[in-house]
Amino acid sequence: MKSAQVTQETKIKERRISHDFWFYLSRVLAVLSWIIFIFALAMSFYAAPEKSYGVLRYHDIEIRQFWLTPLTGYLYLVIWFSAAGSYASMLVEKYRSRRQNDNTHYNLYFLLIFNLIWLSVILNHTLNSLAK
């Protein structure tokens, strides 16, 4: 009888030491969301209009003044994937968190808000370019 109680206590202690699948899933989703976000930053450099520097105007070098439509479509999808990954990670953290004082992961909130703002800016530029 006493040995059964000891094994019960050791199982509880071991459970608290190791992390479960959901913990690792939320971490992987968060890291992938940030990697996708950084990839989207690089992609937006090539999709956005070029800057009109004085040297370029002086030498009459043609400057692209519009968003590249194919890259903008891919950029839009990449940002949506980043936002979805950060939101999924926040959901997993919310339902797996057992204590009120667990880490709130403000970086995921920042990433989600920034992605949504960026999506609205790209959509605004795309719609404006189609209207012209």
Domain spans of the chain, in order of start = 20-131
Calculate ∠ Cα 81-84-87, nearest 5°.
Answer: 150
Cβ-based neighbour number of residue 66 at 10 Å: 14
pLDDT of 37 > 90? The answer is yes
pLDDT band at residue 20 using 50, 70 and 90 as cut-offs? confident
This prediction has a pTM of: 0.74
What type of residue is 127? L
Flag the least confident range among 6-15, 17-26, 39-48, 121-130. Answer: 6-15
When pLDDT is averaged across residues 20-35 and rounded to a whole number, the result is: 91
- The span from the CA of 24 to the CA of 29, in Å, is 9
Q: Do 123 and 76 form a contact (C-beta atoms < 8 A)?
A: yes
Across all residues in the chain, what is the average pLDDT? 82
> What confidence tens digit (pLDDT) does each residue in 64-119 have?
877 777 888 899 999 999 999 999 999 988 887 766 666 778 899 999 999 999 99
When pLDDT is averaged across residues 36-40 and rounded to a whole number, the result is: 95
Burial class (CB in 10 A: 0-12, 13-18, 19+), 30: buried
pLDDT band at residue 13 using 50, 70 and 90 as cut-offs? low
For residue 63, what are its two tokens? 């400057």
- CA proximity to 23, closest of 126, 114, 92: 92
- The span from the CA of 93 to the CA of 22, in Å, is 8
The pLDDT of residue 12 is: 54
